[in-house]
Structure 1
Amino acid sequence: MNWLTILCGLQLLFCVLKPGICSAADDFKTRLDGSVLELDESNFDSAIASFDFILVDFYAPWCGHCKRLAPQLDKVAPILAGLRDPIAIAKLDADKFATLARKYEIDGFPTLKLFIHGVPVDYRGPRKPDLLVLYLKKYVAPDVSILGSDSAISDFLEAAGTYFPLYIGFGLNETVISHLAIKYKKMAWFSVAKDFSEDAMVLYDFDKVPALVVLHPNYKEQSVFYGPFEDEFLGDFIKQNLLPLAVPMNYETLGQLRYDDRKIVLTIMENEKGEKSQKLIKLLKAAASANRDLVFGYVGVKQWKEFADTFGASKNKKFPKLIIWNGDEEYFSVIGSESLDDEDQGSQISRFLEGYREGRIEKKMIEGPSFMDHMKSTIGVGALVIIVFLVAMLMLIRSISKDDDEPRRAGTRRDIDHGDSSDAESSDSENGARKKEE
């Protein structure tokens, strides 16, 4: 008996004890017409009890990010309502109904929570309509899909789309990968093919079973794993193939890198779309294939100057530039291999990696805020208000310890430090909203 079965049993018992709420829940189900449901304190519990899956947008009317997200949710609501396992979309004014906001630990706006059989899960995926639909479809799909024919494999690939990597275990028992499928469900599709033809073996480029094939449709990449199918080796293969061989740096891929603790070999280029850059990316893929303990990423200054400048791109304009990044505030240059010349770049990449592994490195700090911190859900509004309060108290104690007769001028920094905290809280709320933005 799994936890979802237990939850369903508890829900049935609750309906027996509280028939009024369950009646209201039935009323909600008749309203799943593709519109976004407006919730408040009187109907929130009924809505959560009505649907196996409901995504709730905790918003504030004054929040600019919330205003931009609302039409996106309006677009996806009818699509998600039409799924075989429908997902309802709802919204709650968390500024007005503060008790509910505190209950679910809402500390920034907008905050999205997916309630699965009544259990809230933080939604940290993409918010663009097409990607949001793909992301949420994974929650209602089986952890491991069972495929019984070539056509079932094709249908599975078509339904999954191209955004996430797809793992297909040919001749593999689903119990072998089920626990890893649950662990990485947010980042990939998992399936096992029970029956397939020799044509499928040719199409997916494997020559014996059991085999685990991973496809990256967006990047036209494929890899095969023949075992051993023990947790350590299987887990490493799945984790190392969640990302493409060479990762283009953007907000979405940075979010995915949160789950990967490997160091990042970052190549900074002038323009990642240029012909020379495309040739370099192919070399990076080859290096990544031989160095699976590292992530290989690249960014064009033209594509994302702000990100490139945190690694001193504007100061050193000799590109391409190679660094090793820990994904947070530190990065390392390899002495004597900071930049690549046009000739024989493959050998230069090899020398760079050799220098890194031998410790010929210089430690540096990024310029400006940590981009991985930016991608994480960091300090919320509540925490920021507490920090403001503690800083104010510290300044007050310091001022008391000084001579009380010390003259003060209006408008000094000290006066600002002791200003009304309501302004600070308002500002922090807006900051919290920004940090919750995707």
Structure 2
Amino acid sequence: MGRLTILCGLLFLLCNLKPGICSAADQLKGKLDGRVLELDESNFDSAISSFSYILVDFYAPWCGHCKRLSPQLDKAAPILAGLKDPIVIAKLDADKFTTLARKYEIDGYPTLKLFIHGVPVDYRGPRKPDLLVHYLKKFVAPDVSILGSDSAISDFVEAADTEFPIYLGFGLNETVISYLAIKYKQKAWFSVAKDFSEDAMVLYDFDKVPALVVLHPSYNEQSTFYGPFEDEFLGDFIKQNLLPLAVPMNQETLSQLGFDDRKIVLTIMEDANEEKSQKLIKLLKAAASANRDLVFGYVGVKQWEEFADAFGANKNKKFPKLIIWNGDEEYFSVIGYESLDEEDQGSQISRFLEGYREGRTEKKMIEGPSFKDHMMSTIGIGAVVIFVFLVALLMLIRSLCKDDDEPRGADTRRDIDHDDSSDGESSDTEHEARKKED
């Protein structure tokens, strides 16, 4: 009894000397009910050490971007807390607790850092609640999951986020794909099945091992690779299957295409949801299977008019329209096959590709400000700030070279900063904080 009394006394003394240690346990309720934890200097270290995964929002109360991000994190918090491996969301007033802000090199607001077993990693992914959840689930997953039975394979596929392709290795050693799994960790799920039955072979449609099966649950697509399992061939298969056979063009897929150096066969339709358009999409998938050196994408004018108009859809009303796009400011039409007729579209697609490969093309340029505006929004405000800074720097150098009495670079910079503020906020301090906004 005496020992118990001593232990209780020591625990009471420890909690009074280091209140943050006890408060972390108390705040565990915040993790369970999905609330965003409020951190300060007294409980920050204990909270970081208490949770395997904790995403911390370093914010400033006066920051407009921080105010807009806060409700997004509130929505994502309960979903992330309910995962098999929970991810806690917390926030710290970095403008008030400057010692912690300096420790973690916070130089703008909001800054998000994911602490994985206490080790901070910069989070630069999406910030909308659903996309943030998708991204973080991949962020904390193993590079390669090891599966030991049919039920483990089924559970893995079911638990994986359908926004990403799923690679299942059968009869493979994990070391074969580990390097590529690390390289593409944030873009796909990777696993190796150590034990499986013939039923699994039938279910995932492969007839020999080793085999690497890739699933695209969102698009109901599947492909199988039997080797050779060498870096070049394996790498090409994984990279080419990160996207579905026919890619619907939208904000998210367009940003993904920025990491792919293949030319894009872009089909512009009047309405991608029409029955005749769906039949055409099936033909595009078949063409994509036979032409893996190209990406096949499509867009409906009704779904994304601004993007389609950048390729002259407003001038040529004859749809479907086919072009070859390099992902930049140039695209090519194939002479004689600018659009498809209603009949035998599969043959017309083949002749279009043949004309492109033989060089029977006409180069054109992207038109209209809407496309450039979109590209700005895709690459993020950070790139815009860098561009503005470089322009201001060049103007300053020019003014100094002219040996003017009064340099105009600083005034020009202030004017540009004022114009660049999309929210009409004139605070110089908040403008600097926006450099961290993606």
TM-score in same-fold range (> 0.5): yes
Q: Measured at CA, do residues 219 and 422 of structure 1 come closer, stay the same or move farther in structure 2, by a change above 3 Å?
A: same
How much does 1:186 deviate? Answer: 0.5
The within-5 A match list for 1:223-372 is 223-367=223-367, 368=369, 369=372, 371-372=374-375
Shift of 1:391: 5.1
1:319–1:340: 8 Å Cα contact kept in structure 2?
yes
SS across alignment from 2:343: coil
- Could you tell me whether the CA contact under 8 Å between 1:25 and 1:49 is conserved in 2? no
What is the percent sequence identity of the aligned residues? 74
Match of 1:428? 420
Q: Which aligned pairs between 1:158-237 and structure 2 lie closer than 5 A? A: 158-237=158-237
Q: Distance in 2 between matches of 1:171 and 1:211?
A: 7
One-letter amino acid of the counterpart of residue 27, structure 2:
R
Q: Of 27, 30, 37, which aligns to 1:31?
A: 27
Q: Deviations over 1:290-336 (max 9, x none)?
A: 00011101011110111112212112222111111122222222222
User: Quick one: which amino acid aligns to residue 35 of structure 1?
Assistant: R
Change (3 A) 1:321 1:21: farther
More displaced stretch, 59-68 vs 256-265: 59-68
Indicate yes or no: 2:170 matched with 1:156. no
Q: Which moved more, 1:208-217 or 1:124-133?
A: 124-133
1:235: Cα distance to partner? 0.9
Measured after TM superposition, the shift of residue 127 of structure 1 is 3.5
Q: Report the Cα offset of residue 104 of structure 1.
A: 4.4
Give 1:111 deviation, angstroms.
4.8
How much has 1:188 moved relative to structure 2? 0.8
Matched residue count: 407
3-state SS, counterpart of residue 298 of structure 1: strand
Q: How far apart are the structure 2 equivalents of 1:21 and 1:345?
A: 77
Once the two structures are overlaid, the 10-residue window that deviates more, 36-45 or 147-156, is 36-45
- Say which SS state the counterpart of residue 282 (structure 1) adopts: helix
Structure 1, 338-347 or 133-142: larger mean CA deviation: 133-142
Inter-CA distance 140–170: structure 2 relative to 1 (3 Å threshold): same
Per-residue deviation, 1:222: 0.5
Distance 2:18 2:170 in 1: 44
Q: 1:27, CA displacement in angstroms?
A: 4.1
CA distance in 2, matches of 1:290, 1:178: 28
Distance 1:335 1:93 in 2: 60
CA contact (8 A) 2:38 2:91 kept: yes
**Is 1:388–1:424's contact at 8 Å kept on the other side of the alignment?**
no
Task: Pick one of 381, 385, 390 that aligns with 1:387.
Answer: 390
Over 3 Å counting, the alpha-carbon distance change for 1:237 and 1:351 in structure 2 is same
Distance 2:47 2:383 in 1: 26
2-structure distance, mates of 1:325, 1:125: 26
Q: TM-score, normalised by structure 2?
A: 0.80
1: distance between equivalents of 2:325 and 2:61? Answer: 39
Q: Which amino acid aligns with 2:138?
A: K
- Checking the alignment, whether the CA contact within 8 Å between 2:19 and 2:42 is kept in structure 1 is no
Q: CA deviation at 1:126?
A: 3.9
State which drifts further: 324-333 or 281-290: 324-333
Normalised TM-score (structure 1): 0.80
Partners of 1:63 and 1:127 in 2: how far apart?
16
1:340 aligned counterpart, secondary structure: coil
- CA deviations 1:133-174 (Å, max 9, x no partner) are 232122222111111111111111111132211111111111
* Counterparts of 2:168 and 2:285, CA distance in 1: 22
Q: CA separation in 1, counterparts of 2:95 and 2:225? A: 50
Structure 1 stretch 233-242 or stretch 255-264: which is displaced more? 255-264
Provide closer, same or farther for how the CA distance between residues 382 and 253 of structure 1 changes in structure 2, counting only shifts above 3 A.
closer
8 A contact 2:209–2:226 mirrored in 1: yes
Letter in 1 for 2:294: L
| Structure 1 residues 420 and 224, CA gap change in structure 2 (3 angstroms) | closer
Q: Which residue identity is paired with 2:311?
A: F
SS of 1:35's equivalent in the other structure is coil
Distance 1:184 1:21 in 2: 46
RMSD: 3.5
Give secondary structure in 1 for the equivalent of 2:279: helix
Aligned equivalents of 1:319 and 1:56: distance in 2? Answer: 49
Give secondary structure in 2 for the equivalent of 1:276: helix
Map of 2:73 onto structure 1: 73
| CA distance, structure 1, for counterparts of residue 329 and residue 221 of structure 2 | 31
Cα 1:25–1:134, aligned 2, differ >3 Å: closer, same or farther? Answer: farther
Q: Which stretch of the first structure deviates more once superposed, 46-55 or 222-231?
A: 46-55
Residue 362 (structure 1) shift: 2.1
Q: Could you tell me whether the CA contact under 8 Å between 2:77 and 2:88 is conserved in 1?
A: yes
Aligned to 2:5: none
For 1:105 and 1:342, locate their aligned partners in 2 and report how far apart those are by CA, in whole Å: 58
Task: Spell out the pairing of 1:395-414 with structure 2 (5 A cutoff).
Answer: 396-397=399-400
Alpha-carbon offset, residue 361 of structure 1: 1.9
Q: Is the 8 A contact 1:328 1:371 kept in 2?
A: no
Contact kept, 8 Å, 2:330 with 2:364, in 1: the verdict is yes
